[in-house]
């Protein structure tokens, strides 16, 4: 969680920012390559999955044949050894993530410039600052991104959940997880707002929040975890699903009198209803798991991992004239720890949501439908 730290005189403010999301820098390289050559990338991914499964299968069969010829004590030893290797890998990955998530990024901000402790010697002037959107893999709204320059070096600061009024000049490119460029650090909307105020005075940027009557668009993407419901050998279906999952399937425009459901590709209006006509209930989506190729330890590891990533808070939205919209949100603080949750007593549905939205859009919809008081935030 970001915070404002008043260590310095009034002329200078210091903020503690959050690091980019776990894996974002890797995704900024791999995702554009996949988009440029989806067939080749999908083939490489498929070969890699089969190779990984082949190694695991070979190890499992070797251990099975070995323990069948060994004593009971050797069987237990082999089983414990396999379990120890799995736990060690899990602990190592968790330790790498934890160390990275604990890294402190301190921003020192004056009325003219910004400096960062992880880039000593660089001074980023507010003159020439540009604003852009901060999206995730194709447009799910995360907030705003402030682009600053220090000579040839660029520093991009994200503002979580910060929206701007229609007509605001957004001159910088879109950045985000899976896009060619990602933010270098990010702040909460409140801290980001304070920096924007300083920047606007020096740069002349006109930065306004949406007005009370401005529509706010929330984008609904197909739930990426639906890929798990496609057969392992249905390569064409997997490929077609992967190609399309970064395109918004529906858009919900939140307006003062209600909502409008729109096809974001064609712009066609699907439904326009008042808020009173909409029924929205909080839901926790936690799908049941299927069969496993590898029993015993494989069941434990797979169930824990899949349950964690598949379970998500969300809502079920009923709009007259449409099938109910099941919407989940797996937004995170640093890549692995989920940002939102519902309190106890909220219904648990043993299925995956059809759609997923960003945390920013979840906040907008929960406020519109009167569910904000129930939503618990991690950051």
> Which pLDDT tens digit goes with each residue over 305-316?
445 567 889 999
Q: What is the pLDDT averaged over residues 334-351?
A: 84
For the chain, the domain total comes to 3
Boundary-marking domain end, from 170, 203, 236: 203
- 46 with 183, same domain: the answer is no
Boundary-marking domain end, from 53, 85, 101: 101
- 326 with 238, same domain: the answer is yes
- 140 with 41, same domain: the answer is no
Residue 255 has pLDDT above 70, yes or no: yes
Does 60 fall in a domain? Answer: yes
Does 254 fall in a domain? Answer: yes
- What strands lie across the sheet with 140-150, from one edge to the other? 3-5, 13-17, 105-109, 113-116, 124-136, 140-150, 153-160, 185-187
Q: What is the pLDDT averaged over residues 209-220?
A: 89
Which pLDDT score, from 0 to 100, does residue 81 have?
63
Six-digit token string for 102: 């604990």
Residue 271 has pLDDT above 50, yes or no: yes
Does 146 fall in a domain? Answer: yes
Residue 157 has pLDDT above 50, yes or no: yes
Smallest Cα–Cα separation from 165: which of 202, 199, 206, 130? 206
**Residue the block writes with tokens 């959107």:** 133
- 314 with 255, same domain: the answer is yes
Let me know: does 123 contact 113? Beta carbons within 8 Å.
yes
**Residue the block writes with tokens 């988009």:** 35
Six-digit token string for 55: 């190694």
Does 116 fall in a domain? Answer: yes
Which pLDDT score, from 0 to 100, does residue 159 have?
93
- 373 with 287, same domain: the answer is yes
- 301 with 344, same domain: the answer is yes
- 12 with 34, same domain: the answer is no
- 15 with 43, same domain: the answer is no
- In which band, very low, low, confident or very high, does the pLDDT at 282 lie, cut at 50, 70 and 90? very high
Does 210 fall in a domain? Answer: no
Going by DSSP bridges, is the β-strand pair 355-356/325-328 parallel, antiparallel, or unpaired? parallel
Average of per-residue pLDDT values in the chain: 78
Provide the domain limits for residue 342: 216-377
Distances from the Cα of 228 to the Cαs of 130, 310, 352, in angstroms? Answer: 40, 10, 10
Which pLDDT score, from 0 to 100, does residue 297 have?
40
- The model carries a pTM of 0.71
- 353 with 285, same domain: the answer is yes
Residue 279 has pLDDT above 80, yes or no: yes
- 7 with 151, same domain: the answer is yes
Does 211 fall in a domain? Answer: no
Does 208 fall in a domain? Answer: no
- 289 with 312, same domain: the answer is yes
Which pLDDT score, from 0 to 100, does residue 7 have?
43
231 versus 58: the higher-pLDDT residue is 231
- 87 with 114, same domain: the answer is no
Does 320 fall in a domain? Answer: yes
The H or E element spanning position 248 is none
**Residue the block writes with tokens 């020096």:** 202
């Amino acid at each position: 969680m970001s915070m404002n730290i008043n260590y310095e005189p009034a002329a200078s403010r210091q903020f503690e920012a959050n690091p980019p999301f776990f894996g974002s820098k890797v995704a900024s390289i791999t995702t554009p390559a996949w988009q440029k050559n989806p067939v080749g990338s999908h083939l490489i991914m498929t070969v890699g999955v089969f190779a990984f499964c082949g190694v695991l299968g070979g190890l499992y069969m070797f251990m099975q044949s070995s323990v069948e010829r060994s004593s009971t004590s050797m069987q237990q030893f082999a089983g414990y050894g396999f379990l120890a290797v799995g736990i060690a890998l899990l602990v190592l990955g968790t330790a790498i993530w934890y160390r990275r998530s604990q890294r402190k990024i301190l921003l020192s901000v004056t009325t003219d410039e910004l400096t960062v402790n992880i880039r000593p010697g660089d001074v980023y002037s507010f003159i020439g600052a540009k604003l852009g959107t901060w999206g995730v893999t194709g447009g799910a709204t995360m907030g705003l991104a402030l682009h600053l320059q220090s000579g040839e070096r660029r520093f991009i600061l994200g503002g979580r959940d910060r929206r701007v009024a229609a007509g605001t000049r957004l001159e910088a490119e879109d950045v985000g997880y899976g896009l060619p460029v990602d933010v270098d650090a990010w702040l909460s909307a409140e801290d980001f707002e304070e920096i924007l105020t300083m920047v606007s005075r020096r740069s002349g940027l006109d930065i306004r929040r949406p007005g009370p009557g401005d529509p706010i668009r929330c984008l609904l993407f197909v739930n990426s975890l639906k890929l798990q419901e496609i057969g392992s050998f249905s390569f064409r279906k997997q490929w077609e699903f992967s190609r399309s999952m970064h395109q918004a399937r529906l858009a919900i425009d939140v307006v003062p009198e209600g909502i409008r459901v729109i096809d974001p590709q064609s712009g066609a209006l699907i439904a326009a209803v008042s808020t009173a006509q909409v029924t929205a209930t909080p839901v926790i989506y936690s799908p049941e798991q299927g069969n496993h190729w590898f029993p015993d330890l494989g069941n434990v590891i797979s169930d824990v991992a899949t349950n964690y990533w598949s379970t998500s808070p969300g809502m079920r939205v009923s709009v007259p004239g449409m099938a109910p919209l099941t919407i989940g949100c797996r937004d995170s603080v640093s890549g692995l720890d989920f940002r939102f949750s519902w309190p106890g007593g909220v219904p648990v549905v043993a299925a995956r949501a059809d759609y997923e939205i960003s945390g920013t859009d979840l906040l907008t919809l929960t406020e519109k439908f009167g569910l904000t008081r129930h939503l618990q935030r991690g950051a």
